Every structure is written in structure tokens, then in C-alpha cells.
Amino acid sequence: MNIETWFLLIYFAAMAGIGVWTLKVGSKGSEGYLLGGRSLGAAVTALRLQSSSMSGYMFLGAGSLAYTKGYFSLWYAMGDIGGGVLNLSILGRRMRKLSQILGSLTSIEYLEHRYPSKWIRVIAAPVAVFCIFFYVMSQFIAGGRGLEMVTGIPYAWALLIAVGVIVFYTFLGGYLAVAYTDFVQAIIMLIGMLWILIACLQAVGGWTAGNEAVGQINPNLLTMWGPDGIESVQWGVIVGAVLVFSIGYMGWPHVNVSHMAMKRPSVARRASLYATGFNLLFIPAPYIVGIMALILLPTLDNPELAVFAVADTVLPDFAVGIVMAGIMAAIMSTADALLLQSGTIASQDLFQRFVKKDMSDQQSVWVSRFTVLVLAVIGYLVAVNDPPAVAEVVIFSTTVLGAAFVPVYIAAAWWKKANVPGAIASMILGTVSSVVWQLTGLVDVTGVDPMGIGIVCSTLALILVSLATQRSHPVPAHVLKAMKETDKIGAIPPSMLTGQNDSLAGQVPKDARDER
């Protein structure tokens, strides 16, 4: 067994250890399993948010974009860098406070409480589960491929191991396990990526020398306009590239759930500082490495492997093992957050809401776990038999999630006139427009990215329909009151909390219990 494999084994064991440790704290009730008991501090919140949204894309997609398009790829990086801080600043504090006042445990349930209608959940939950399933499958494939490359074991087995480890610790501890493993993984990702960057720049003789060499291949690669120069620029695609990872981010239910798990609403401010620091250090690195790969590996067959291949070329064997652990960390942290989110949506948003209303906390936890297992098995079977292209699946599902949910999440926290018909119209139009735009090939005809068109459609729908239906569907008084409270900084008055306090269970007098 090579040294890289040893590092991966140690890494897997450590992550599983965190899962076992959090089993005790994390699954005592559904608030614990689903939200870690709203106990996360700023550093964990921020790095968890970043590592779960970066995914294998940063190691596969970012390197590939940079390798093929040069500094044009930095449009995506710009969105990436600003995404975390935008999300935390715009949604963080308000979503944390409002979700607690409304007693919401999941990000879909939060939408339904803010826009009180069962149709919100009927529409949002399937869209979210559908997109998340595809996204998680792409992470499985990336994990399997990564493991196959490092260890040399066949893809089917590599995939099985990757899926097994991800499911194992998601299964054990719920959100707390995922949050803490994501935190650790964010740090490993950062160290791994910076290590590759430094070694890569040393190998090309420094950044300036590297840029000069890239300029000799094609001077356009050094500009922000792509390899064919400014004449061929599609401005709609550039706008979409910035939007996907900046504001698109705010529509991802699996990312937004971390706002709800913060210890206090005020954690958001410090978390956004951590997120910015992490982004500034981490995000440019894979793009720069991808560009420098043009010099180090000019004849690379598969650009998606640019970062892997550079690491293999410029780092010593033991370092490749650590860096591979970082790459697996990125993939796994996204996959586990997504899996947990799917389980949550299935148990809370679909099963408990529509099938068994009096489900106990323990049953809810088991429905989540069962869903995670079923999705993992289906994901494995699809990924092992006929794996689709990772990047396409990721971009498609991200685009649909962003287009469907960004306006409703932002308006939920900020706009008191956003009502049920507006939210329904926004989610439907956002989903349909982005899917149709993508599937009918309108992107190539118009040069406008589906994310851009989806966001515009869903935003307009939300504003116009909400304003038109203010009289027939006014926003309920308790929601308005909760939003007014959310405007204020400070603790929530206990009288406004609608969710029950489970810790009071141990204070029920015996005769009151006996009446049951």
C-alpha cells in the first residue's frame, strides 16, 4: 500500500471518529440531529459553510476552467470569494433569528412558516431533493475517481469506499457530526491547496515567470476575456458566472441550514470575517494552479485532472497523500451536507408533514437516516453503472436551486410584502425558466446563462405577484411581528418563541404526566 493510501486511511478513520463522538451529543432529539442543537460558533459556521459549498468543484472544475480559459476563469472565482460573506451578511443573522421565532428546523420548513401554505413545501421539497440528489451523486463520482487515482483500486470499489465513509458519519451523528467534520475538512482543504500552489509557483520559477510563459502560449489567456480575446466575449455568460457562486449560493437549502444552527444570531458577523479570510486564501489557488498547469503539463488529456496532476508532479509522495486527503475532504464535506439535507427534507418536510404528523423525534431521526441510506444506494448504483459528467450535473443542479430559491430566501428575511402566491410563482418560474433555458439550448443562441435568466424570472415573479395579491393574500400578523422582531438586534423575547423547549420535559410534575 502506498503512502498516499495510508494518509487517506488515517483521514477516513479520523472523520469517522468525529462521527462516533458526536453520536452522543448529536442525536438526542431532532433539533440535535438536524441542527446540532443550534450550538455552532463562528469559526465552525463559516468554514462549514465554505467547505460544504466549495465541493469537489474547486479541485476538478476550477482547475479545468483555468486550464482551458486562463484568467477568464477568475469571473467564477470572484463570485466564489464574495459568496460566503454575501450569504452570511444578507441572510445569516436574520435567518437564524426568524427561524427560531417561527420554530423551524429545516430550511424548507422555514420557507413554509414564513410563507404559510402547504403548497410552499409541496413545491420546494421535491425541487430541492431532486437537485440535491444529482449534486450528491456527482460528489460520489468525484470521490470515487479521486480514490481510484490515488490507491489504484478499481473504480467500483473506490466509489463504494467513498460512499461508505460519507454515509457512515452522516448516519451516526447528524448535523453536528457533519458540521465538525466539515470544519476539520475546510482546514485540510486549505492546507492542501496552498501547498500545491506554493510548490507549483516554485516549479514554474515564480508567478511572473509563469505568467510570461503562459503569455507565450496565448496572450489572451492572461486577460479576463478568454482565449479568443474580447471580441468573442459573451457578457451574459460572464454575468451568469459571477451570479452562480455569489448570489446563487443563497438559494441552496443545504448551505442555508447552517445559518439556522448558529449559537446566536450575532455569530453571523464574526463568521463572515472567517469566511472571507478562508475564501481569500483558498479560492484563487486552484485557478492559478490550473493556469500554471499549462506550462507544467501542456499535453494533459483531461483538464479536470489539472490540479491532481500538478500535485502529483510537484509534490513529494507523502505530500500528495495529504493533498489528496484535502481533495477528498472537499468532496466528502459537500456530499455529507447534501445527504443530510435530503434526509432532513424527507423526514421533516415530506414524511412528518404529509404522512405521519405525530411522528416522534426518534422516528424522525430514523426516517432521515433511512433516506440517507436509500439515496446513497441509488446514487452508488447510478454512479457505478453509467456515471454522467460531473461538472455538467453540478452546474445544472446548482443553477436550478439558485434560480428557484434565491429570491424567496432573501425576501423571506427582508421584504415584509413577500407573500404566499408571490413565493409560489417565484419558485415555479425560477425552476421552469432555468430548466427550459438549459435543455432547449437557449444558452448558446442568446449567450445568456440559465442562472441569470432564472434569477430574473423568479425575482420579477415574486415582486409582481406579491404586490398584485396583497389584498387577497396578506402576510399574516404573526409573521409580520416576527419580521419586525428580526429587524432588531438582540435576544428573542421568550414569549415569541413558538417552538417548544424540550429541556422542560424533565420538569413536568408527576401528576401532570400521569394524566396522559
Residues that bind another protein (CB under 8 A): 41, 493-495, 497-498, 500-513, 515-516
Of the pair 133, 183, the CB lying nearest another protein is at 183
Enter the DSSP assignment of 262. Answer: B
As measured in angstroms, the least distance from the Cβ of 44 to another protein is 11
Is the separation of the CB atoms in 140 and 335 below 8 Å? yes
Residue nearer to another protein on the CB measure, 45 or 458: 45
CA–CA separation, 397 and 401 (whole Å): 6
What's the CA gap between 182 and 37, in Å, rounded? Answer: 17
C-beta of 198 vs 505, nearer to another protein: 505
Query: Nearest distance from residue 508's CB to another protein, in Å?
Result: 5
Query: Cβ closer to another protein: 47 or 201?
Result: 47
Contact present, 204 and 290 (Cβ < 8 Å)? no
Least Å distance, CB 12 to another protein, is 24
Nearest distance from residue 493's CB to another protein, in Å?
A: 8
Nearer CB in complex with another protein: 179/404: 179
**CA-atom Rg of the chain in angstroms:** 23
Residue among 441 and 494 whose Cβ is closer to another protein: 494
Taking the complex as a whole, the smallest distance from the CB of residue 512 to another protein amounts, in Å, to: 5
How near is the Cβ of 515 to another protein at its closest, in Å?
Answer: 6
CB-nearer residue toward another protein: 480 or 497: 497
Mention every residue, 6+ apart, whose C-beta is less than 8 A from residue 154: 148
Q: What is the smallest separation between the CB atom of 332 and another protein, expressed in angstroms?
A: 25
Helix orientation angle between 118-151 and 3-26, rounded to the nearest 10 degrees: 150
Cβ at position 507, least distance to another protein in Å: 4
Spatial separation of the C-alpha atoms in residues 274 and 297, rounded to whole Å: 34
CA distance 419 to 473: 7
Residue 2 vs 39, nearer CB to another protein = 39
Grid cell of 96 as nine digits:
437564524
- Torsion angles phi and psi, residue 40, rounded to 5: -85, 140
- How crowded is the C-beta side of 369, counted as CA atoms within 13 Å? 16
The answer to whether the beta carbons of residues 77 and 283 sit under 8 Å apart is yes
- In angstroms, the CA 87 to CA 95 distance is 10
CA distance 515 to 241: 61
